[in-house]
């Protein structure tokens, strides 16, 4: 009956009461599925009366990711003794059957929110977010920027601090040439997210992509110039940049490869350096990048 009652409670809330009889099931075993924050308290403990409501408020929005279990140590002295609880309030996070984090005493609301966030993150993004992340990666590879942006926004609705979600959103907005919007997003991001690898990787293509987009204004002029002087390396470099901004990726890479074939050392290997920058912008997993890298290797080592 206890298990049925607990399942019913969890379906409505992720806050449960645990005792000696249910500790192994509801904390140790359950923590193999998701983190369990355990609040050790007692009715006479005044600091507990301050802490517990803050904990309950902090976990209510993490229903899918963790559970808060409350243990009255007066009624469950064996558990307190086994875990060497010497003062209360004491809070432990159990994950994968053992203590992963914890603290003693009263904390500020911001400290509690941070503790709960860190505990929730122990189990990773969750199946729904993982599926969305996988889908967004495919859309990035296809350069389907609109759908990639939509998926990234869904990820961030579920997990507002998901670093890969922000990286995908930024990458897709760069692909849509929304450079000013990207800069506004970056300004608003927390430092931890702004400096995360997914976001930094996405931003690494910003300058080159913005430059390429602006270069599209000169495509017609460059075409005329190249008709007159088809091996002019300045024209070839500028045209390659403009073609990339016009989403003609393969043609852009071929033009830079042509430049390298004419004179690989020109302007301190400017064509090769530009090609590598555009590889980064297009994505190293893109088919055009893979093909062009193969051709570049043949050129450099022939």
pLDDT at 262: 95
Binning pLDDT at 50, 70 and 90, where does residue 173 land? very high
Catalytic residue among 37, 45, 112, 296: 45
Share of the chain above pLDDT 90, in %: 71
219 neighbors 238 (Cβ within 8 angstroms):
no
209 neighbors 280 (Cβ within 8 angstroms):
no
pLDDT at 160: 84
Binning pLDDT at 50, 70 and 90, where does residue 2 land? very low
List the domains of the chain with CATH numbers: 2-123 (3.40.30.10), 127-203 (1.25.40.10), 211-301 (1.25.40.10)
18 Ramachandran zone, left/alpha/beta (phi>0; psi -120 to 50)? beta
Model pLDDT for residues 249-273, shown as the tens digit of each residue? 999 999 999 999 999 999 999 999 9
48 classed as catalytic: yes
Cα separation, 102 vs 110, in Å, equals 15
Binning pLDDT at 50, 70 and 90, where does residue 282 land? confident
CA dihedral (23, 26, 27, 28) in degrees, to 10, reads 90
Residue 294 confidence (pLDDT) above 60? yes
Cα separation, 174 vs 169, in Å, equals 9
Model pLDDT for residues 108-154, shown as the tens digit of each residue? 999 999 899 889 888 766 677 888 999 998 998 888 999 999 999 99
Q: What is the mean pLDDT of the chain?
A: 89
Residues 6+ apart with CB under 8 A from 164: 133, 155, 198
Binning pLDDT at 50, 70 and 90, where does residue 239 land? very high
Model pLDDT for residues 78-91, shown as the tens digit of each residue? 998 888 888 999 99
96 classed as catalytic: no
Cβ-count burial of 187 within 10 angstroms (0-12 exposed, 13-18 middle, 19+ buried)? exposed
pLDDT at 11: 42
Model pLDDT for residues 35-81, shown as the tens digit of each residue? 999 999 999 999 999 999 999 999 987 877 899 999 999 999 999 88
CA dihedral (72, 73, 74, 80) in degrees, to 10, reads 160
Model pLDDT for residues 92-108, shown as the tens digit of each residue? 999 999 999 999 999 99
120 neighbors 65 (Cβ within 8 angstroms):
yes
Catalytic residue among 16, 27, 48, 151: 48
């Amino acid at each position: 009956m206890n298990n049925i009652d607990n399942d019913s409670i969890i379906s409505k809330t992720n806050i449960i009461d645990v005792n000696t009889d249910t500790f192994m099931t509801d904390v140790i075993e359950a923590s193999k599925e998701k983190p369990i924050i355990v609040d050790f308290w007692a009715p006479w403990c005044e600091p507990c009366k301050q802490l517990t409501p803050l904990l309950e408020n902090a976990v209510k929005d993490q229903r899918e990711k963790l559970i808060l279990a409350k243990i009255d140590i007066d009624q469950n002295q064996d558990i307190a003794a086994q875990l060497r609880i010497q003062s209360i309030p004491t809070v432990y996070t159990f994950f994968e059957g053992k203590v992963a984090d914890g603290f003693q005493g009263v904390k500020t609301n911001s400290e509690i929110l941070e503790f709960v966030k860190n505990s929730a993150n122990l189990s990773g993004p969750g199946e729904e977010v993982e599926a969305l992340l996988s889908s967004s990666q495919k859309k990035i590879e296809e350069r389907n920027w609109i759908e990639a942006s939509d998926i990234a926004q869904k990820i961030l609705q579920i997990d507002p601090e998901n670093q890969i979600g922000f990286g995908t959103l930024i990458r897709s907005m760069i692909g849509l040439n929304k450079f000013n919007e990207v800069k506004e997003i970056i300004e608003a991001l927390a430092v931890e997210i702004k400096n995360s690898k997914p976001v930094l990787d996405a931003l690494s293509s910003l300058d080159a992509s913005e430059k390429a987009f602006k270069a599209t204004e000169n495509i017609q002029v460059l075409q005329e110039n190249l008709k007159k002087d088809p091996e002019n390396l300045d024209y070839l470099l500028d045209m390659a940049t403009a073609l990339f901004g016009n989403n003609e990726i393969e043609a852009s890479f071929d033009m830079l490869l042509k430049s390298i074939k004419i004179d690989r050392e020109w302007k301190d290997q400017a064509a090769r350096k530009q090609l590598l920058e555009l590889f980064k912008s297009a994505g190293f997993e893109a088919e055009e990048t893979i093909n062009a890298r193969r051709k570049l290797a043949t050129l450099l080592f022939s």
